[in-house]
Amino acid sequence: MLLFLFNLLGYKLLYSLFIFSAKDVSLKVFHFFPLKQLFVCCLALIFLSGCNTIHANKSAILQIEQGQFTQAKQTIKQNYSSVGRDRLLHELELATILHLEKDYLQSNQHLERAKTHIESFYTISVSEQALAMLSGPSFANYEGKNYYLPLIHYLKALNFNSLAQLNPSMRETYLDSSQVEMRQLDVYMENLKSETGGYKKSEQEDEGSLTDIIYDILKPIAAPETLLENIEYKDDAFIHLFSGLLSEQNNDLDAARLQYQRAAHAYENGFTKQYGLADTTEKLALKNLARTMKLAGGYRSELQTLLNKHTSLEVPEGTQVTIIQNLGIAPEKKQLNFMLRAEARSKALVMYPIFIGSEQEKREQRLWFQMLYADTSLFDLMQNYILGDVSDVLLGTMTKRIPLGSLWDEAEDIGLIDALEYGGRISVSYLAPPKLPIRKTEIWQGNKKLADLEQFHSISQLALQKALIDAQSEIRIAFTREIVKALTARKAMQVAGADQNNLLGSFVKIASTAVNAITASADTRQWQSLPAQIRLAQFSLEPGLQNLTIKTTLNSGRVIQQSANIDVQGSMTVWHTRTFLNAAPTVNAL
Protein backbone atom coordinates (compact mmCIF):
# COMPACT_ATOMS: atom_id res chain seq x y z
CA MET A 1 0.00 0.00 0.00
CA LEU A 2 2.81 2.41 0.92
CA LEU A 3 4.67 1.53 -2.28
CA PHE A 4 1.55 2.35 -4.27
CA LEU A 5 1.23 5.71 -2.52
CA PHE A 6 4.88 6.59 -3.14
CA ASN A 7 4.54 5.68 -6.83
CA LEU A 8 1.44 7.79 -7.06
CA LEU A 9 3.06 10.72 -5.29
CA GLY A 10 6.15 10.40 -7.49
CA TYR A 11 4.02 10.81 -10.59
CA LYS A 12 2.31 13.82 -9.10
CA LEU A 13 5.64 15.35 -8.16
CA LEU A 14 6.78 15.23 -11.79
CA TYR A 15 3.56 17.01 -12.73
CA SER A 16 4.02 19.68 -10.07
CA LEU A 17 7.66 20.23 -11.08
CA PHE A 18 6.48 20.66 -14.68
CA ILE A 19 4.06 23.36 -13.56
CA PHE A 20 6.72 25.21 -11.59
CA SER A 21 9.36 24.94 -14.30
CA ALA A 22 6.88 26.20 -16.88
CA LYS A 23 6.58 29.36 -14.82
CA ASP A 24 10.36 29.61 -14.25
CA VAL A 25 9.72 29.07 -10.58
CA SER A 26 12.47 26.58 -9.82
CA LEU A 27 13.45 25.83 -6.26
CA LYS A 28 16.34 28.29 -6.45
CA VAL A 29 13.83 31.15 -6.70
CA PHE A 30 12.67 30.33 -3.20
CA HIS A 31 16.30 30.69 -1.94
CA PHE A 32 15.96 27.66 0.30
CA PHE A 33 18.77 25.62 1.79
CA PRO A 34 19.14 22.10 0.31
CA LEU A 35 17.15 20.68 3.24
CA LYS A 36 14.35 23.10 2.57
CA GLN A 37 14.33 22.00 -1.05
CA LEU A 38 13.55 18.51 0.14
CA PHE A 39 10.81 19.91 2.36
CA VAL A 40 9.24 21.74 -0.57
CA CYS A 41 9.32 18.59 -2.72
CA CYS A 42 7.64 16.59 0.04
CA LEU A 43 5.12 19.34 0.56
CA ALA A 44 4.24 19.37 -3.14
CA LEU A 45 3.58 15.65 -2.87
CA ILE A 46 1.32 16.19 0.12
CA PHE A 47 -0.56 18.98 -1.66
CA LEU A 48 -1.28 16.85 -4.66
CA SER A 49 -2.02 13.68 -2.71
CA GLY A 50 -4.78 15.61 -0.99
CA CYS A 51 -6.37 16.58 -4.28
CA ASN A 52 -8.56 13.52 -4.70
CA THR A 53 -11.87 14.78 -5.96
CA ILE A 54 -14.76 14.12 -3.57
CA HIS A 55 -17.66 13.27 -5.82
CA ALA A 56 -21.27 13.65 -4.84
CA ASN A 57 -22.98 10.41 -3.90
CA LYS A 58 -23.29 8.42 -7.13
CA SER A 59 -24.05 4.94 -5.79
CA ALA A 60 -27.66 5.75 -4.95
CA ILE A 61 -28.20 7.29 -8.39
CA LEU A 62 -26.96 4.16 -10.14
CA GLN A 63 -29.27 2.07 -7.98
CA ILE A 64 -32.22 4.38 -8.69
CA GLU A 65 -31.65 4.16 -12.43
CA GLN A 66 -31.75 0.36 -12.21
CA GLY A 67 -34.94 0.40 -10.14
CA GLN A 68 -33.14 -0.83 -7.01
CA PHE A 69 -35.08 1.50 -4.74
CA THR A 70 -34.66 -0.44 -1.49
CA GLN A 71 -30.88 -0.48 -1.90
CA ALA A 72 -30.90 3.20 -2.90
CA LYS A 73 -32.77 4.18 0.26
CA GLN A 74 -30.28 2.26 2.36
CA THR A 75 -27.39 4.00 0.60
CA ILE A 76 -28.90 7.42 1.29
CA LYS A 77 -29.48 6.62 4.96
CA GLN A 78 -25.88 5.45 5.31
CA ASN A 79 -24.46 8.56 3.65
CA TYR A 80 -26.82 11.28 4.87
CA SER A 81 -27.90 11.40 8.51
CA SER A 82 -31.44 12.52 9.31
CA VAL A 83 -30.14 14.75 12.11
CA GLY A 84 -26.66 15.76 10.92
CA ARG A 85 -25.40 18.50 8.65
CA ASP A 86 -26.66 16.56 5.58
CA ARG A 87 -30.22 16.21 6.89
CA LEU A 88 -31.67 18.26 4.03
CA LEU A 89 -30.21 15.84 1.48
CA HIS A 90 -31.45 12.91 3.58
CA GLU A 91 -35.02 14.17 3.15
CA LEU A 92 -34.74 15.27 -0.48
CA GLU A 93 -33.13 12.11 -1.82
CA LEU A 94 -35.47 9.80 0.10
CA ALA A 95 -38.45 11.85 -1.10
CA THR A 96 -37.36 11.35 -4.72
CA ILE A 97 -36.93 7.59 -4.29
CA LEU A 98 -40.31 7.22 -2.57
CA HIS A 99 -41.90 9.23 -5.38
CA LEU A 100 -40.43 6.78 -7.89
CA GLU A 101 -41.72 3.89 -5.76
CA LYS A 102 -45.20 5.51 -5.98
CA ASP A 103 -45.29 5.93 -2.19
CA TYR A 104 -46.51 9.47 -2.67
CA LEU A 105 -47.74 10.20 0.86
CA GLN A 106 -44.44 9.14 2.43
CA SER A 107 -42.57 11.13 -0.20
CA ASN A 108 -44.52 14.25 0.75
CA GLN A 109 -43.71 13.77 4.42
CA HIS A 110 -40.01 13.89 3.61
CA LEU A 111 -40.51 16.92 1.35
CA GLU A 112 -42.37 18.73 4.14
CA ARG A 113 -39.48 18.06 6.52
CA ALA A 114 -37.09 19.35 3.85
CA LYS A 115 -39.07 22.62 3.70
CA THR A 116 -38.82 22.90 7.49
CA HIS A 117 -35.04 22.41 7.34
CA ILE A 118 -34.65 25.11 4.68
CA GLU A 119 -36.62 27.55 6.81
CA SER A 120 -34.46 26.74 9.86
CA PHE A 121 -31.25 27.46 7.94
CA TYR A 122 -32.05 31.16 7.77
CA THR A 123 -30.42 31.38 11.22
CA ILE A 124 -26.78 30.29 11.17
CA SER A 125 -24.84 30.00 14.40
CA VAL A 126 -21.52 31.81 14.84
CA SER A 127 -19.87 28.58 15.98
CA GLU A 128 -20.96 26.81 12.79
CA GLN A 129 -19.55 29.61 10.64
CA ALA A 130 -16.25 29.38 12.52
CA LEU A 131 -16.13 25.60 12.08
CA ALA A 132 -16.79 25.92 8.34
CA MET A 133 -14.08 28.58 8.04
CA LEU A 134 -11.41 26.50 9.76
CA SER A 135 -12.46 23.06 8.53
CA GLY A 136 -14.21 23.56 5.20
CA PRO A 137 -17.74 24.09 3.81
CA SER A 138 -18.67 20.42 4.04
CA PHE A 139 -18.50 20.68 7.85
CA ALA A 140 -21.44 23.11 7.86
CA ASN A 141 -25.11 22.38 7.31
CA TYR A 142 -25.99 21.87 3.66
CA GLU A 143 -28.60 24.56 3.01
CA GLY A 144 -29.47 23.79 -0.62
CA LYS A 145 -29.97 26.27 -3.45
CA ASN A 146 -32.56 28.95 -4.02
CA TYR A 147 -34.31 26.85 -6.68
CA TYR A 148 -34.77 23.84 -4.35
CA LEU A 149 -37.91 25.17 -2.68
CA PRO A 150 -39.82 25.59 -5.98
CA LEU A 151 -38.84 22.04 -6.95
CA ILE A 152 -39.98 20.73 -3.56
CA HIS A 153 -43.42 22.26 -4.13
CA TYR A 154 -43.38 20.92 -7.69
CA LEU A 155 -42.65 17.36 -6.54
CA LYS A 156 -45.26 17.57 -3.78
CA ALA A 157 -47.86 18.73 -6.30
CA LEU A 158 -46.92 15.84 -8.62
CA ASN A 159 -47.38 13.45 -5.71
CA PHE A 160 -50.85 14.82 -4.96
CA ASN A 161 -51.74 14.72 -8.64
CA SER A 162 -50.77 11.04 -8.79
CA LEU A 163 -52.77 10.29 -5.65
CA ALA A 164 -55.82 11.93 -7.27
CA GLN A 165 -55.47 9.63 -10.27
CA LEU A 166 -54.99 6.52 -8.15
CA ASN A 167 -57.87 7.31 -5.76
CA PRO A 168 -60.96 8.46 -7.72
CA SER A 169 -63.04 8.75 -4.55
CA MET A 170 -60.59 11.32 -3.13
CA ARG A 171 -59.72 12.96 -6.43
CA GLU A 172 -61.05 16.38 -5.52
CA THR A 173 -59.27 16.39 -2.13
CA TYR A 174 -55.90 15.55 -3.63
CA LEU A 175 -56.32 18.00 -6.50
CA ASP A 176 -57.11 20.70 -3.96
CA SER A 177 -53.94 19.77 -2.08
CA SER A 178 -51.88 20.09 -5.25
CA GLN A 179 -53.26 23.57 -5.77
CA VAL A 180 -52.42 24.51 -2.17
CA GLU A 181 -48.79 23.63 -2.88
CA MET A 182 -48.78 25.86 -5.92
CA ARG A 183 -50.40 28.74 -4.03
CA GLN A 184 -47.68 28.51 -1.40
CA LEU A 185 -45.10 28.47 -4.14
CA ASP A 186 -46.72 31.47 -5.79
CA VAL A 187 -45.95 33.52 -2.67
CA TYR A 188 -42.30 32.46 -2.89
CA MET A 189 -42.11 33.33 -6.60
CA GLU A 190 -43.61 36.77 -6.01
CA ASN A 191 -41.02 37.46 -3.32
CA LEU A 192 -38.29 36.23 -5.66
CA LYS A 193 -39.43 38.56 -8.43
CA SER A 194 -39.63 41.42 -5.94
CA GLU A 195 -36.05 40.80 -4.80
CA THR A 196 -34.52 40.30 -8.25
CA GLY A 197 -36.70 42.60 -10.34
CA GLY A 198 -37.95 39.72 -12.46
CA TYR A 199 -36.32 39.93 -15.86
CA LYS A 200 -35.10 43.47 -15.33
CA LYS A 201 -31.36 43.77 -15.13
CA SER A 202 -30.07 43.64 -11.57
CA GLU A 203 -26.62 43.52 -10.11
CA GLN A 204 -25.64 41.50 -7.10
CA GLU A 205 -22.51 41.88 -5.05
CA ASP A 206 -20.90 39.31 -2.81
CA GLU A 207 -20.93 40.30 0.82
CA GLY A 208 -17.79 39.65 2.79
CA SER A 209 -18.12 37.42 5.81
CA LEU A 210 -14.45 37.71 6.88
CA THR A 211 -11.88 40.42 7.42
CA ASP A 212 -11.98 43.43 5.11
CA ILE A 213 -8.23 43.27 4.61
CA ILE A 214 -8.25 39.76 3.14
CA TYR A 215 -11.30 40.48 1.00
CA ASP A 216 -9.66 43.64 -0.39
CA ILE A 217 -6.70 41.52 -1.37
CA LEU A 218 -8.93 39.02 -3.15
CA LYS A 219 -11.12 41.48 -5.04
CA PRO A 220 -9.32 40.93 -8.38
CA ILE A 221 -10.73 37.39 -8.51
CA ALA A 222 -13.69 37.90 -10.79
CA ALA A 223 -15.22 36.33 -13.87
CA PRO A 224 -15.87 38.43 -17.00
CA GLU A 225 -18.98 40.55 -16.42
CA THR A 226 -20.57 39.38 -19.67
CA LEU A 227 -20.36 35.74 -18.52
CA LEU A 228 -22.57 36.37 -15.48
CA GLU A 229 -25.00 38.72 -17.20
CA ASN A 230 -28.70 37.81 -16.95
CA ILE A 231 -28.24 34.33 -15.49
CA GLU A 232 -29.81 34.95 -12.08
CA TYR A 233 -32.83 32.86 -11.07
CA LYS A 234 -35.51 35.56 -11.20
CA ASP A 235 -38.79 33.80 -11.97
CA ASP A 236 -39.94 30.39 -13.16
CA ALA A 237 -42.13 30.25 -16.24
CA PHE A 238 -42.51 26.47 -16.07
CA ILE A 239 -43.76 26.60 -12.47
CA HIS A 240 -46.42 29.12 -13.52
CA LEU A 241 -47.42 26.92 -16.45
CA PHE A 242 -47.58 23.81 -14.28
CA SER A 243 -49.67 25.67 -11.70
CA GLY A 244 -52.07 26.73 -14.47
CA LEU A 245 -52.39 23.13 -15.68
CA LEU A 246 -53.24 21.87 -12.19
CA SER A 247 -55.72 24.68 -11.64
CA GLU A 248 -57.47 23.96 -14.93
CA GLN A 249 -57.55 20.25 -14.14
CA ASN A 250 -59.31 21.16 -10.89
CA ASN A 251 -61.71 23.42 -12.85
CA ASP A 252 -60.35 26.59 -11.22
CA LEU A 253 -60.29 28.51 -14.48
CA ASP A 254 -59.61 31.98 -13.08
CA ALA A 255 -56.52 30.76 -11.23
CA ALA A 256 -55.43 28.85 -14.36
CA ARG A 257 -55.86 31.94 -16.53
CA LEU A 258 -53.71 34.04 -14.22
CA GLN A 259 -50.91 31.45 -14.10
CA TYR A 260 -50.94 30.91 -17.88
CA GLN A 261 -50.62 34.66 -18.29
CA ARG A 262 -47.62 34.76 -15.95
CA ALA A 263 -46.04 31.80 -17.73
CA ALA A 264 -46.40 33.42 -21.15
CA HIS A 265 -44.91 36.67 -19.86
CA ALA A 266 -41.89 34.94 -18.28
CA TYR A 267 -41.23 32.68 -21.28
CA GLU A 268 -41.46 35.64 -23.67
CA ASN A 269 -39.31 38.03 -21.66
CA GLY A 270 -36.26 35.89 -21.07
CA PHE A 271 -36.93 32.50 -19.46
CA THR A 272 -36.90 30.61 -22.77
CA LYS A 273 -33.69 32.29 -23.94
CA GLN A 274 -31.93 32.04 -20.58
CA TYR A 275 -32.38 28.29 -20.28
CA GLY A 276 -32.24 27.36 -23.98
CA LEU A 277 -35.79 26.00 -24.19
CA ALA A 278 -38.08 25.14 -27.07
CA ASP A 279 -39.50 27.98 -29.18
CA THR A 280 -43.03 26.71 -28.52
CA THR A 281 -43.03 27.47 -24.78
CA GLU A 282 -44.65 30.89 -24.96
CA LYS A 283 -47.07 29.75 -27.68
CA LEU A 284 -48.43 26.89 -25.57
CA ALA A 285 -48.90 29.17 -22.57
CA LEU A 286 -50.81 31.65 -24.77
CA LYS A 287 -52.98 28.86 -26.23
CA ASN A 288 -53.94 27.74 -22.76
CA LEU A 289 -54.56 31.33 -21.72
CA ALA A 290 -56.94 31.85 -24.66
CA ARG A 291 -58.73 28.55 -24.01
CA THR A 292 -59.33 29.26 -20.30
CA MET A 293 -60.64 32.73 -21.17
CA LYS A 294 -63.09 31.11 -23.56
CA LEU A 295 -64.10 28.37 -21.11
CA ALA A 296 -64.52 30.73 -18.15
CA GLY A 297 -66.57 33.27 -20.10
CA GLY A 298 -66.64 36.99 -19.39
CA TYR A 299 -63.34 37.67 -21.11
CA ARG A 300 -64.57 38.31 -24.65
CA SER A 301 -62.77 41.64 -25.14
CA GLU A 302 -59.54 40.40 -23.49
CA LEU A 303 -59.63 37.27 -25.63
CA GLN A 304 -60.12 39.29 -28.81
CA THR A 305 -57.23 41.58 -27.87
CA LEU A 306 -55.03 38.53 -27.34
CA LEU A 307 -56.01 37.01 -30.69
CA ASN A 308 -55.46 40.31 -32.49
CA LYS A 309 -51.96 40.55 -31.03
CA HIS A 310 -51.13 36.93 -31.89
CA THR A 311 -52.88 36.44 -35.21
CA SER A 312 -51.56 32.91 -35.76
CA LEU A 313 -52.72 31.69 -32.34
CA GLU A 314 -55.09 28.73 -32.49
CA VAL A 315 -57.35 28.04 -29.52
CA PRO A 316 -57.32 24.28 -28.72
CA GLU A 317 -60.72 22.57 -28.62
CA GLY A 318 -61.87 19.49 -26.74
CA THR A 319 -60.33 17.61 -23.83
CA GLN A 320 -56.62 18.33 -23.44
CA VAL A 321 -53.95 15.95 -22.16
CA THR A 322 -50.60 17.25 -20.90
CA ILE A 323 -47.73 14.81 -20.49
CA ILE A 324 -44.76 15.94 -18.36
CA GLN A 325 -41.51 14.02 -18.71
CA ASN A 326 -38.85 14.48 -16.02
CA LEU A 327 -35.82 13.37 -17.97
CA GLY A 328 -32.34 12.20 -16.97
CA ILE A 329 -30.14 13.16 -14.01
CA ALA A 330 -28.84 16.61 -13.13
CA PRO A 331 -25.10 17.15 -13.79
CA GLU A 332 -22.66 16.09 -11.11
CA LYS A 333 -20.91 18.58 -8.85
CA LYS A 334 -17.15 17.98 -8.68
CA GLN A 335 -13.99 19.46 -7.20
CA LEU A 336 -11.32 21.66 -8.80
CA ASN A 337 -8.01 22.17 -6.97
CA PHE A 338 -5.43 24.97 -7.05
CA MET A 339 -1.96 25.63 -5.66
CA LEU A 340 -1.42 29.14 -4.33
CA ARG A 341 1.85 30.95 -3.68
CA ALA A 342 3.07 34.47 -3.04
CA GLU A 343 5.45 35.86 -5.67
CA ALA A 344 7.70 38.55 -4.22
CA ARG A 345 9.21 39.76 -7.51
CA SER A 346 5.82 40.85 -8.85
CA LYS A 347 4.14 41.42 -5.47
CA ALA A 348 1.29 39.14 -6.42
CA LEU A 349 -0.52 36.01 -5.35
CA VAL A 350 -0.45 33.39 -8.12
CA MET A 351 -2.87 30.50 -8.43
CA TYR A 352 -2.23 27.37 -10.50
CA PRO A 353 -5.02 24.86 -11.29
CA ILE A 354 -4.31 21.16 -10.79
CA PHE A 355 -6.23 19.02 -13.26
CA ILE A 356 -6.84 15.45 -12.10
CA GLY A 357 -9.21 12.60 -12.87
CA SER A 358 -10.22 11.16 -16.24
CA GLU A 359 -9.35 12.93 -19.49
CA GLN A 360 -12.93 14.15 -19.70
CA GLU A 361 -12.77 15.54 -16.15
CA LYS A 362 -9.47 17.27 -16.88
CA ARG A 363 -11.01 18.93 -19.94
CA GLU A 364 -13.99 20.03 -17.86
CA GLN A 365 -11.74 21.46 -15.15
CA ARG A 366 -9.57 23.28 -17.68
CA LEU A 367 -12.57 24.87 -19.40
CA TRP A 368 -14.17 25.85 -16.07
CA PHE A 369 -10.94 27.50 -14.94
CA GLN A 370 -10.42 29.33 -18.22
CA MET A 371 -14.05 30.45 -18.29
CA LEU A 372 -14.11 31.85 -14.75
CA TYR A 373 -10.64 32.51 -13.41
CA ALA A 374 -7.83 32.50 -15.99
CA ASP A 375 -5.87 35.65 -16.87
CA THR A 376 -7.32 36.05 -20.35
CA SER A 377 -8.71 39.59 -20.37
CA LEU A 378 -6.72 42.47 -21.87
CA PHE A 379 -6.20 43.91 -18.40
CA ASP A 380 -4.89 40.56 -17.10
CA LEU A 381 -2.48 40.23 -20.03
CA MET A 382 -1.17 43.74 -19.41
CA GLN A 383 -0.68 43.01 -15.71
CA ASN A 384 1.18 39.80 -16.48
CA TYR A 385 3.39 41.64 -18.96
CA ILE A 386 4.13 44.51 -16.55
CA LEU A 387 4.61 42.42 -13.42
CA GLY A 388 6.09 39.30 -14.94
CA ASP A 389 7.62 38.37 -18.24
CA VAL A 390 6.65 36.96 -21.63
CA SER A 391 6.12 33.49 -20.19
CA ASP A 392 3.59 34.94 -17.75
CA VAL A 393 1.63 36.35 -20.68
CA LEU A 394 1.79 33.11 -22.66
CA LEU A 395 0.75 30.99 -19.69
CA GLY A 396 -2.01 33.35 -18.56
CA THR A 397 -4.70 30.88 -19.52
CA MET A 398 -3.21 28.42 -17.01
CA THR A 399 -2.79 30.83 -14.10
CA LYS A 400 -4.62 33.45 -12.10
CA ARG A 401 -2.49 36.34 -10.86
CA ILE A 402 -3.74 38.65 -8.12
CA PRO A 403 -1.55 41.77 -8.09
CA LEU A 404 -1.37 43.19 -4.57
CA GLY A 405 0.58 46.37 -5.37
CA SER A 406 0.40 48.65 -2.35
CA LEU A 407 -1.44 45.93 -0.44
CA TRP A 408 1.70 43.75 -0.46
CA ASP A 409 3.10 45.56 2.58
CA GLU A 410 -0.20 45.16 4.38
CA ALA A 411 -0.25 41.46 3.46
CA GLU A 412 3.26 41.16 4.93
CA ASP A 413 2.20 42.98 8.09
CA ILE A 414 -0.63 40.54 8.81
CA GLY A 415 1.68 37.60 8.09
CA LEU A 416 0.01 36.46 4.87
CA ILE A 417 3.18 36.36 2.77
CA ASP A 418 5.10 34.44 5.40
CA ALA A 419 2.18 32.04 5.89
CA LEU A 420 2.33 31.19 2.17
CA GLU A 421 6.10 30.57 2.17
CA TYR A 422 5.54 26.93 1.23
CA GLY A 423 2.45 27.60 -0.85
CA GLY A 424 -1.10 26.50 -0.14
CA ARG A 425 -3.93 24.53 -1.62
CA ILE A 426 -7.49 25.69 -2.21
CA SER A 427 -10.47 23.83 -3.63
CA VAL A 428 -13.70 24.93 -5.27
CA SER A 429 -16.58 23.09 -6.87
CA TYR A 430 -17.52 22.99 -10.53
CA LEU A 431 -20.41 21.51 -12.47
CA ALA A 432 -19.98 18.97 -15.24
CA PRO A 433 -21.35 20.15 -18.62
CA PRO A 434 -25.11 19.49 -18.78
CA LYS A 435 -25.43 17.24 -21.80
CA LEU A 436 -28.11 14.65 -22.58
CA PRO A 437 -27.62 12.22 -25.48
CA ILE A 438 -31.25 12.64 -26.59
CA ARG A 439 -32.31 12.76 -30.23
CA LYS A 440 -36.07 13.08 -29.64
CA THR A 441 -38.95 12.12 -27.34
CA GLU A 442 -42.43 11.40 -28.68
CA ILE A 443 -45.94 10.42 -27.58
CA TRP A 444 -47.58 7.52 -29.45
CA GLN A 445 -50.97 5.85 -29.31
CA GLY A 446 -50.67 2.52 -31.02
CA ASN A 447 -49.09 3.21 -34.40
CA LYS A 448 -50.04 6.88 -34.37
CA LYS A 449 -47.68 9.61 -33.24
CA LEU A 450 -49.59 12.24 -31.23
CA ALA A 451 -46.93 14.83 -30.34
CA ASP A 452 -43.29 15.61 -29.63
CA LEU A 453 -42.20 16.21 -26.06
CA GLU A 454 -40.28 19.49 -26.03
CA GLN A 455 -38.08 21.08 -23.41
CA PHE A 456 -40.01 23.49 -21.17
CA HIS A 457 -37.47 23.66 -18.34
CA SER A 458 -33.78 22.83 -17.88
CA ILE A 459 -32.77 22.11 -14.31
CA SER A 460 -29.26 21.39 -15.61
CA GLN A 461 -28.97 24.91 -17.01
CA LEU A 462 -30.51 26.33 -13.84
CA ALA A 463 -27.95 24.47 -11.70
CA LEU A 464 -25.08 25.47 -14.00
CA GLN A 465 -25.97 29.16 -13.98
CA LYS A 466 -26.33 29.14 -10.20
CA ALA A 467 -22.91 27.45 -9.96
CA LEU A 468 -21.37 30.16 -12.18
CA ILE A 469 -22.79 32.88 -9.95
CA ASP A 470 -21.69 31.12 -6.76
CA ALA A 471 -18.20 30.47 -8.16
CA GLN A 472 -17.10 34.05 -7.50
CA SER A 473 -17.94 34.10 -3.81
CA GLU A 474 -16.89 30.45 -3.40
CA ILE A 475 -13.31 31.00 -4.55
CA ARG A 476 -12.94 34.15 -2.47
CA ILE A 477 -14.20 32.31 0.60
CA ALA A 478 -11.95 29.34 -0.19
CA PHE A 479 -8.98 31.70 -0.50
CA THR A 480 -9.87 33.41 2.74
CA ARG A 481 -10.43 30.12 4.57
CA GLU A 482 -6.99 28.78 3.66
CA ILE A 483 -5.32 32.10 4.46
CA VAL A 484 -7.04 32.24 7.86
CA LYS A 485 -5.95 28.66 8.54
CA ALA A 486 -2.35 29.51 7.56
CA LEU A 487 -2.34 32.64 9.71
CA THR A 488 -3.82 30.72 12.64
CA ALA A 489 -1.09 28.10 12.34
CA ARG A 490 1.57 30.82 12.17
CA LYS A 491 0.22 32.46 15.32
CA ALA A 492 0.14 29.11 17.12
CA MET A 493 3.75 28.53 16.08
CA GLN A 494 4.75 31.89 17.54
CA VAL A 495 2.93 31.14 20.79
CA ALA A 496 4.72 27.78 20.98
CA GLY A 497 8.06 29.56 20.59
CA ALA A 498 9.06 27.89 17.31
CA ASP A 499 11.35 30.26 15.45
CA GLN A 500 10.33 30.38 11.81
CA ASN A 501 13.98 30.71 10.78
CA ASN A 502 15.27 27.58 12.49
CA LEU A 503 14.85 23.93 11.58
CA LEU A 504 12.06 23.33 14.11
CA GLY A 505 10.17 26.33 12.82
CA SER A 506 10.45 25.04 9.26
CA PHE A 507 9.17 21.63 10.30
CA VAL A 508 6.22 23.16 12.17
CA LYS A 509 5.36 25.42 9.26
CA ILE A 510 5.56 22.57 6.76
CA ALA A 511 3.46 20.34 9.01
CA SER A 512 0.73 22.97 9.43
CA THR A 513 0.77 23.74 5.70
CA ALA A 514 0.47 20.04 4.91
CA VAL A 515 -2.51 19.61 7.24
CA ASN A 516 -4.21 22.61 5.66
CA ALA A 517 -3.57 21.18 2.17
CA ILE A 518 -4.98 17.77 3.02
CA THR A 519 -8.10 19.14 4.73
CA ALA A 520 -8.90 21.70 2.01
CA SER A 521 -11.97 20.57 0.11
CA ALA A 522 -14.88 21.98 -1.83
CA ASP A 523 -18.53 21.37 -1.06
CA THR A 524 -19.78 18.95 -3.73
CA ARG A 525 -23.07 18.16 -2.00
CA GLN A 526 -26.28 18.62 -3.97
CA TRP A 527 -29.74 17.17 -4.63
CA GLN A 528 -28.34 14.67 -7.11
CA SER A 529 -31.55 12.83 -8.06
CA LEU A 530 -33.13 15.88 -9.70
CA PRO A 531 -33.96 15.48 -13.41
CA ALA A 532 -31.80 17.22 -16.00
CA GLN A 533 -34.74 18.44 -18.11
CA ILE A 534 -38.50 18.75 -17.95
CA ARG A 535 -40.20 18.09 -21.28
CA LEU A 536 -43.85 18.59 -22.08
CA ALA A 537 -46.42 17.76 -24.75
CA GLN A 538 -50.09 18.77 -24.95
CA PHE A 539 -52.71 17.39 -27.32
CA SER A 540 -56.41 16.55 -27.63
CA LEU A 541 -57.83 13.10 -26.81
CA GLU A 542 -61.25 11.57 -26.39
CA PRO A 543 -62.38 11.16 -22.74
CA GLY A 544 -61.95 7.74 -21.17
CA LEU A 545 -59.13 5.27 -20.58
CA GLN A 546 -56.38 5.76 -23.18
CA ASN A 547 -53.15 3.80 -23.61
CA LEU A 548 -50.16 5.99 -24.43
CA THR A 549 -46.47 5.30 -24.99
CA ILE A 550 -43.51 7.64 -24.60
CA LYS A 551 -40.64 6.82 -26.95
CA THR A 552 -37.28 8.38 -26.01
CA THR A 553 -34.70 7.99 -28.76
CA LEU A 554 -31.04 8.35 -27.77
CA ASN A 555 -28.24 9.52 -30.06
CA SER A 556 -27.03 5.92 -30.15
CA GLY A 557 -30.32 4.87 -31.74
CA ARG A 558 -31.57 3.05 -28.65
CA VAL A 559 -35.28 3.67 -27.93
CA ILE A 560 -36.63 3.70 -24.37
CA GLN A 561 -40.38 2.97 -24.29
CA GLN A 562 -42.75 3.70 -21.39
CA SER A 563 -46.45 2.86 -21.58
CA ALA A 564 -49.47 3.45 -19.32
CA ASN A 565 -53.27 3.70 -19.32
CA ILE A 566 -54.42 7.27 -18.66
CA ASP A 567 -57.92 8.24 -17.54
CA VAL A 568 -58.75 11.32 -19.64
CA GLN A 569 -61.47 13.57 -18.21
CA GLY A 570 -62.50 17.21 -17.89
CA SER A 571 -60.97 20.04 -19.91
CA MET A 572 -57.43 19.11 -18.81
CA THR A 573 -55.69 15.91 -17.68
CA VAL A 574 -52.11 16.15 -16.38
CA TRP A 575 -49.86 13.08 -16.33
CA HIS A 576 -46.16 12.75 -15.59
CA THR A 577 -43.31 10.24 -15.71
CA ARG A 578 -39.58 9.98 -14.98
CA THR A 579 -37.23 8.66 -17.66
CA PHE A 580 -33.74 7.37 -16.85
CA LEU A 581 -31.36 6.94 -19.76
CA ASN A 582 -29.34 4.15 -18.12
CA ALA A 583 -32.33 2.20 -16.85
CA ALA A 584 -32.78 -1.52 -17.34
CA PRO A 585 -35.40 -2.26 -20.06
CA THR A 586 -38.02 -3.36 -17.52
CA VAL A 587 -37.56 -0.44 -15.12
CA ASN A 588 -39.12 2.52 -16.93
CA ALA A 589 -42.88 2.77 -16.57
CA LEU A 590 -45.31 5.65 -16.57
Domain ranges across the chain: 1-49, 54-142, 145-199+234-317
Residue 183: its pLDDT value, please? 92
Helices 148-166 and 171-196: crossing angle in degrees, nearest 10, is 170
CA-based nearest residue to 96, from 436, 528, 524: 528
pTM above 0.75, yes or no: yes
CA-based nearest residue to 64, from 105, 111, 114, 99: 99
Scored b (16 or more CB within 10 A) or e, 450-480 reads bbebbbbbbbbbbbbbbbbbbbbbbbbbbbb
Q: How far apart are CA 530 and CA 44, in angstroms?
A: 38
Burial class of 346 by CB neighbour count within 10 A (0 to 12, 13 to 18, 19+): buried
Least confident range of 58-62, 84-88, 390-394, 430-434: 390-394
Could you read off the pLDDT of 215-250 as tens digits, one per residue?
Answer: 455 554 555 555 566 788 999 999 999 999 999 999
From the options 3.30.70, 1.20.1300, 2.60.120, 1.25.40, give the CATH code of 145-199+234-317: 1.25.40
Q: How far apart are CA 110 and CA 294, in angstroms?
A: 40
Could you read off the pLDDT of 152-172 as tens digits, one per residue?
Answer: 999 999 999 999 999 999 999
**Averaged confidence pLDDT in the chain:** 78
Q: How far apart are CA 181 and CA 243, in angstroms?
A: 9
Instruction: Calculate mean pLDDT across residues 56-74.
Output: 88
Highest mean pLDDT, choosing among 196-210, 273-287, 333-347: 273-287
Highest mean pLDDT, choosing among 120-129, 382-391, 434-443: 434-443
Q: Provide the CA 314 distance to its chain's centre, in angstroms.
A: 38
Q: How far apart are CA 533 and CA 325, in angstroms?
A: 8
Q: How far apart are CA 181 and CA 179, in angstroms?
A: 5
Taking 70 as the threshold, does the pLDDT of residue 24 lie above it? no
Higher pLDDT, 565 or 29: 565
554 and 438 Cβ atoms separated by less than 8 Å:
yes
Q: How far apart are CA 36 and CA 425, in angstroms?
A: 19
Residue 413: its pLDDT value, please? 79
Question: Angle at the Cα of 463 (from 462 to 465), degrees rounded to 5?
Answer: 65
CA-based nearest residue to 287, from 246, 266, 257, 329: 257
Residue 242: its pLDDT value, please? 97
Residue 388: its pLDDT value, please? 52
CA-based nearest residue to 111, from 150, 84, 73, 76: 150
Residue 496: its pLDDT value, please? 54
Q: How far apart are CA 489 and CA 419, in angstroms?
A: 8
State residue 189 phi and psi, 5-degree precision. -65, -35
